[in-house]
Amino acid sequence: MTTPTRTLDGYRAHPGAAAAQLDQVLVALGQAGILRALVREPSRDGQLRLEADLLVTPEDLAETEQILAGRGFRRRPGWGRRPHRFHLRPAANDGGSIDWLKIDVVTDLCFGSLHEYASNMGPRCLLARTSPTDDRLLPADEFMALLLHGLLDASFLRVDQRDRLQALALTADRPGPLALRCLPSGSETMTWTALLEAVSRSDWSPIERLRPALRRQLAGRNRLQIRMRRLRSIAGRRSTKPLTALRARGPVVALIGPDGTGKTTLAASLAEHAGLPSRVLYGGTYRSGTTTSAVPGFTTARLIGRLLGTRAHLNWHQARGRLVVLDRHPVQARPTAEDHLSPRAALRRRIVAATLPPADLLIALDAPTAVLHRRRPEHSMERLGRDRVRTLALAENTPGAIVVDATTAPDQLRDETIRIVWERAIPNAPGRARR
């Protein structure tokens, strides 16, 4: 496998599987004949995910997203952030831990807090690269893109952006297509050479005074289009909640298994590290300390009422696009032929089992009965054995359910579960049906 060329600082210097996965994506796109380039040096965001901005042509967008989906990426909602399309996936480190890679695919170089200033220079910048196999923009185009991003997207240039601009200025000898398009001309404005010299000597005041001129240059005669882009972005971002409820509802993952398999611990850890906004809900039928009632049917009614309340919370979190992790699921109460129940008791358990909707993914945690008894000695071996057999039978008869070994180390179990969830429960794109 060939490696991409000319990385200035090297995102590969930071350990993690995400950097290797990004290299593989770039190679796969190159082998498919797709023009592509990293707009800026990939870096870690506030959640320690490796984030890369990838520029492709509009004609190659569909094929690019197909390649990303085939490599395990899932597109996340981004209403009001056009032309940005966000793709996320977990990557396994050598030790089994999870690293995260986020690729922001764009088809043009747009600037401004609402991406309202479109340069319309994306394809031209791709064609101007040093060679067709290069994975980076020209240093001059990367320099100009970063400068415009810092000046137009925010109110000041950050320290890391200034350091990066100074590093790029050493190799950006001639202006690229983006600079020729965006750098204002005239006797009162700064030339390309003067701009590089000001950056090299850290003279940032005249550079930041370029902000109004850069806006005018990018706007040109398209002031109405810029206003329309701004309005569309504002409308999309303010409509995120209803659009999420209609087109990108969150998935539901249920963890089942006999006592001692670590369902509660895994549910909390999964919600914390799954890479998505998540919530944990209890879906079991009987909590510890539940009391019975002398009134016939009262205990069952109280149980159904609690589970219906859980269902309401589940629907709410789904509508907000959150991953819902169910610690247990009432489907475990569904009667079987081996239970030898009376018709009344069987009906009651069928009603209880149907109080929560089926999960998008049912994960059954399994461990040998001796291990379960060692972890939960208050339960007999016979009871734990029956619960284990019942869980495995339920998983076998549930389409798409998967059995996971619960005897592995907690971190390994969590990371393995995260990979399963992303592969089987997270949709490929907002609004698409899950597999």
Determine the residue type at 153. Answer: D
Tell me how many degrees the CA angle 192-224-79 measures, rounded to the nearest 5: 90
What per-residue confidence (pLDDT) applies to 295?
A: 67
Cis amide prior to 83 (ω within 30 degrees) = yes
- The CATH classification number of 250-424 equals 3.40.50.300
One DSSP character per residue, 335-387 reads: --GGG---HHHHHHHHHHHTSSPPPSEEEEEE--HHHHHHH-TTS-HHHHHHH
Q: Which of 290, 288, 283 is nearest to 263 (CA)?
A: 283
**pLDDT tens readout for residues 92-137:** 887 778 899 999 999 999 999 999 999 999 999 999 987 777 888 9
3-class SS shares of the chain: helix, strand, coil, % to 5: 45, 15, 40
Backbone angles phi, psi at 275, to 5 degrees: 85, 0
Give the residue extent of every domain in the chain: 11-240, 250-424
Tell me if the pTM is above 0.85: yes
Q: How far apart are CA 68 and CA 198, in angstroms?
A: 40
**pLDDT tens readout for residues 28-69:** 999 999 999 999 889 888 888 899 999 999 999 999 999 999
> 287 pLDDT exceeds 70?
no
Q: How far apart are CA 113 and CA 189, in angstroms?
A: 24
- In whole angstroms, how far apart are CA 173 and each of 140, 178, 197, 425, 435? 7, 14, 11, 49, 51
Contact call for residues 350 and 335 (beta carbons, < 8 A):
yes
**pLDDT tens readout for residues 217-257:** 998 878 899 999 999 999 999 999 999 998 889 999 999 99
